[in-house]
Structure 1
Amino acid sequence: MRLQFFPNNHRNIVKLLGCCLETEVPLLVYEFISNGMLAHHLHVEGNISLPWNDRMRIALETSKALAYLHLAASTPVLHRDIKSSNILLDDNLTAKVSDFGASRHISIDQTGVTTAIQGTIGYLDPMYYYTSRLTDKSDVFSFGVLLIELLTRKRPTVRTSDGDSLVSHFASLVTEGDLVGIIDPQIMDEAEVEKVEEVAKLAAMCTKLNGEDRPTMREVEMTLENLRTTKKHTHHNIATKRYEKDQIVAPYISIEGLTMEASRQYTTEEEMLLSGAYPR
């Protein structure tokens, strides 16, 4: 039995808990997350969505959660379905990674597992799709797509007029240094160009076709922390006032050896991998 939590309904919840205990019916209790899915906040009508600071904080919080699952948990867990609709936001717009129905745990001494393909179109690691081998870098790819979504406010399933996927088109623009046409105009108004470029390079690194070329989630987390702790300008507009919350600034951590340069990643053959009809 799955229990949906509603505020101010504690008496009925207690009654239901008692009934389940008496009948030994399995019960799942979920925390009520008032602000729903990240996807609903990004893909709204009009020009104003989540402010830049909130988007980057949400990205950092999500990366921390994934880094914990991969490295700090007693048994490493691979989420396998990271996407904007699986990131929930509470009253303070704090990110909560949800939906572990597709997750797989692996032994500490393992680097991956061979398993049936599961994931979502647009976010799914193409190498996992074609080899059935799931690794921590598969989550990194999905997180990179999420970063691109945060930067562009475009759904990962969109294609260019030439038929290129969002991921490969974004990587090409990073290489060419021509991000103006794809970055959400709201971000261009609110954020420092240099910082946007660094996040874009990180997203391109995360979505490299070869998993070995992608950073770990821990490296991603530290990179985003570094970017958030540098001095930033505050822009007060309607969107910022609507979403603005108190934020805690993490200490600066320098990263050595994480190459941020983007390069042309996808040949025509590789693009065919990315354009495959992925299953749910």
Structure 2
Amino acid sequence: MLVFEFVSNGTLADHLHGKRKKQGTLVPWHTRLNIAIEAASALAYLHNSGIIHRDIKSSKILLDDNLCVKVADFGLSRMLPLVVSTSKEAATFASHASTAPQGTNGYIDPDYFQFHRVCDKSDTYSFGVVLAEIISSLPAVDDTWNPYEVPLLSHLAMNKIQNEALHELVDPCLGFQPDNEIGESITAVAELAFQCLQCPKELRPSMKQVLETLQGIKKGIWGFHQIT
């Protein structure tokens, strides 16, 4: 028997496009940004320990009474192998692990899917999809969209951001205006999401860089020079 803490506020997915959204529960922008920061912090901690989550998505981000984040479900997690150096230096984690692709449609890193190599940047891609959800309140996959388009939020988000049509992606309830504080913050998070969703994986930031950028966005002093 497994016993878990009861998480009273359900999942991030519930609030963005699930049952709580349908009940009229609205999550303001500053709360969404805090949730993104806490989830990024958890992933950065995992990566520092050599662990890849492999299935990060909004339904795995649990929220307690105070809407504080708990990242859940490590059933698909993978520990990166240790690489022992012939010198006296401490062992380090390998850059990737070869394994058959697993995860959830709409969140799986295309590089991982193609080459069967999972790495920390695979989680970065999935987190980029979560950031797009936080901005848009749309699910990662939606079959009700235009049947002539691939129903993936990642593709939709990349398209809108590239074509300077971010206002068409942002959830209207957030009060997005490009020239106000919330608008600038949302725009910065959208640019970060774009970085996370890039292919090949070498173009993406690490989760540590993502966390630092989100913290900067919250303080209003962000910069993208730290993203590779």
Same fold (TM over 0.5): yes
> Are residues 1:163 and 2:149 paired?
yes
The C-alpha deviation readout for 1:1-56, integer Å capped at 9, x for no partner, is 22xxxxxxxxxxxxxxxxxxxxxxxxxx3222121111111111276521111111
- CA gap 1:179/1:48 in 2 versus in 1, 3 angstroms: farther
> Are residues 1:205 and 2:188 paired?
no
Residue 114 of structure 1 is aligned with which of 90, 95, 98? 98
CA RMSD across the alignment: 1.9
- CA gap 1:133/1:204 in 2 versus in 1, 3 angstroms: same
Q: Secondary structure at the match of 1:154?
A: coil
TM (norm. structure 2) is: 0.85
Match of 2:212 in 1: 222
The equivalences for 1:226-241 within 5 A come to 226-230=216-220
Residue 78 of structure 1 is aligned with which of 19, 36, 52? 52
- What is the total number of aligned residue pairs between the two structures? 209
Cα pair 2:15 2:25 within 8 Å, conserved: no
Amino acid in the other structure paired with 1:205: Q
Report deviation, 1:192: 2.1
> Which consecutive unaligned segments of at least 5 residues does structure 1 have?
3-28, 231-251, 260-280
Amino acid in the other structure paired with 1:173: K
Equivalent-residue separation in structure 2 for 1:86 and 1:257 (angstroms): 28
Q: Secondary structure at the match of 1:180?
A: helix
Report deviation, 1:253: 7.6
Report deviation, 1:155: 0.6
Cα pair 1:222 1:254 within 8 Å, conserved: no
> Which consecutive unaligned segments of at least 5 residues does structure 2 have?
83-91
Report deviation, 1:209: 2.0
The equivalences for 1:126-275 within 5 A come to 126-158=110-142, 160-161=145-146, 162-164=148-150, 165-189=152-176, 192-230=182-220, 256-258=225-227
Equivalent-residue separation in structure 2 for 1:61 and 1:150 (angstroms): 13
Report deviation, 1:181: 1.4
Match of 1:92 in 2: 66
> Are residues 1:53 and 2:30 paired?
yes
Q: Secondary structure at the match of 1:215?
A: coil
Report deviation, 1:118: 1.1
Cα pair 2:107 2:126 within 8 Å, conserved: yes
TM (norm. structure 1) is: 0.70
Match of 1:263 in 2: none
Amino acid in the other structure paired with 2:73: D
Residue 77 of structure 2 is aligned with which of 92, 99, 103? 103
Amino acid in the other structure paired with 2:168: G
Could you list the runs of 4 or more consecutive aligned residues of structure 1 that deviate by over 4 angstroms after TM superposition? 252-255
Which protein has the larger Cα radius of gyration, Structure 1 or Structure 2?
Answer: 1
Aligned-pair identity in percent equals 40
